Amino acid sequence: MRQDDGAEFISASLGRTQKGRVSLAHYYTEPSHTFAEYLLVPGYSSTECFPANVSLRTPLVKFHRDEEPALTMNIPMTSAIMQAVSNDTMAIALAKQGGISFIYGSQSIEAEAAMVSRVKNYKSGFVSSDSNISPDTTLGGVLELLAKTGHSTMAVTEDGSANGKLVGIVTSRDYRVSRMSLDTKVATFMTPFEKLIWADADETTLTQANDLIWERKLNMLPLIDKNQRLRYMVFRKDYTDNKENELELTDSNKSYIVGAGINTRDYSERVPALLAAGVDVLCIDSSEGFSEWQRLTIQHIREEYGDTVKVGAGNIVDGEGFRFLANAGADFIKVGIGGGSICITRETKGIGRGQATALIDVCAERDKYFKETGIYIPICSDGGIVYDYHMTLALAMGADFLMLGRYFSRFDESPTDRVMVNGTYYKEYWGEGSNRARNWQRYDLGGSKKLSFEEGVDSYVPYAGALKDNVETTLSKIRSTMCNCGALTLPEFREKAKLTLVSSTSIVEGGAHDVILRDKLGRD
């Protein structure tokens, strides 16, 4: 609310006067709050309320009330657009669990597109081969390609192209580096076509291909056309992954869904390259989204591609910012400024807002916009998550999904090094606003290629192991809490959730207190 007592001042030296009236800044009378200042109050739970019945499916992009969203996720988790978090390895691991990674854009266009391509080609029912050699390729060339793609199974075609005439296959079992010269040609050690089991690309379904793989105990089945040209490859491991990861997120071609970050500078070159690589959704990576630069970026994408290309925007912290990006055409909107664990924007620039208050405000405006227009724009809560239960609170407050940096940076699949400090393993983690990231495009500096000051730090986070194990534990907590509130879906959870502010004393009460923990005494 605007605090303005209408007082008349005689002295013009007080500044900003109009007809003797002093214009004051806009003041919010209520303090902004963090997630740690809230708790959920349990509600009635029916006999149907148990975790296995809970669905965490959530929309990723906007949709009309009479339509289904074009993109959804099976879990409400995305990984942050950060160098220290989201590369192709992270994208594959998270898609297996039902979420989406946004590969970081603070790298060359070619490098980012290559990461997207590796994700899209990693998991498909019918895979287009990306590791192709000719019979004249040497063992040295095979090893170079292996280092580049990480794929040990290579198609040997007459011309070395992905869709050339298939003449053989090379796997790691076909050669021994210690016993063969690097000049040895593939033709001498490949498995020739005559000894391969293959299938007709035009007549074989994915189910039939998998059946043949299991019946003949194959690791890979090539699919060829009537001219013996390679069309696809089907891998045993893809079928196994599908059975192990029931929530995995794939497109109509059975490829993993992946997102990518873009900036407000080189989007006219970066966007087409990412689309050519197969990206499913884009997100503008910026320190502050209430900006004409973001509107112009979205406008360009709409003019070039219409509504088929999905792009999220942000970050903002109030309803006014939401309206701006909604009117600009954003497909989802990110909330949060200064709440990230490595972000120092608030102490450096004095801008931001408590994440819980910002989220509640924006979600209320989202719901109001939906009633007015019939268009639902998903909200992504970005920042402020310290404990797993904060994720549950964010979802109860209205977030459709979360963007997480520190959380995912701790896992094996993040792109940073694991280091040992004083006998304990950590992972490196740095902010996009740090000098280490050198992500100047993120800050709308009008073409400047130098950060005048940092808005992020370079740090370590405790190493936590594999993504799959940690995500499963976190989701178990979320599902359990939803059951405590009598909800089996996220929309139902938002409707039924009852939130209460807590005092500093009750925060202490909520943890272990008035006891001496056994591990503090060094006992088992």
Helix, strand, or coil here: 372? helix
CB hemisphere CA count around 15 (13 angstroms):
2
- The values of phi and psi at residue 481, to 5°, are -65, -40
Bridge partners of 235?
Answer: 220
Catalytic residue check, 21: no
**What whole-number distance in Å separates Cα of residue 487 and Cα of residue 480?**
10
105 assigned to a ligand binding site: no
Q: CA nearest 161: which of 85, 249, 231?
A: 231
286 assigned to a ligand binding site: yes
Catalytic residue check, 442: yes
Check 406, 410, 442, 479 and give the catalytic one.
442
Question: 């909330």: which residue's tokens?
Answer: 335
343 assigned to a ligand binding site: yes
Pairing status of strand 332-335 against strand 311-316:
parallel
Q: Which two tokens stand for residue 472?
A: 């499963």
337 assigned to a ligand binding site: yes
Q: How far is CA 166 from CA 191, 216, 217, 246, 276, in A?
A: 11, 20, 21, 34, 26
Helix axes 292-305, 319-328, angle to 10 degrees: 30
287 assigned to a ligand binding site: yes
**What whole-number distance in Å separates Cα of residue 448 and Cα of residue 441?**
8
Question: 């979320």: which residue's tokens?
Answer: 478
Which residues are CB-contacts of 330 (< 8 A; sequence separation ≥ 6)?
62, 294, 298, 311, 312, 313, 314, 377
Check 343, 363, 380, 485 and give the catalytic one.
343
Peptide bond into 435 cis (omega under 30): no
**What whole-number distance in Å separates Cα of residue 262 and Cα of residue 439?**
11
336 assigned to a ligand binding site: yes
Four-CA torsion 344, 349, 352, 353, nearest 10 degrees: 90
Q: Which two tokens stand for residue 395?
A: 């979802």
Which residues are CB-contacts of 341 (< 8 A; sequence separation ≥ 6)?
386, 405, 406, 459, 461
| Integer-rounded Cα radius of gyration of the chain | 27
Question: 């409400």: which residue's tokens?
Answer: 76
Q: How far is CA 196 from CA 126, 151, 167, 234, 516, in A?
A: 18, 19, 9, 14, 67
Q: CA nearest 297: which of 308, 287, 286?
A: 286
Q: Which two tokens stand for residue 361?
A: 């405000």
Q: How far is CA 447 from CA 264, 317, 442, in A?
A: 10, 26, 11
**What whole-number distance in Å separates Cα of residue 297 and Cα of residue 291?**
10
Binding-site annotation: residue ranges for K(+):
338, 340, 343
Active site residues: 343, 442
Binding-site annotation: residue ranges:
285-287, 336-338, 340, 343
Binding-site annotation: residue ranges for NAD(+):
285-287, 336-338
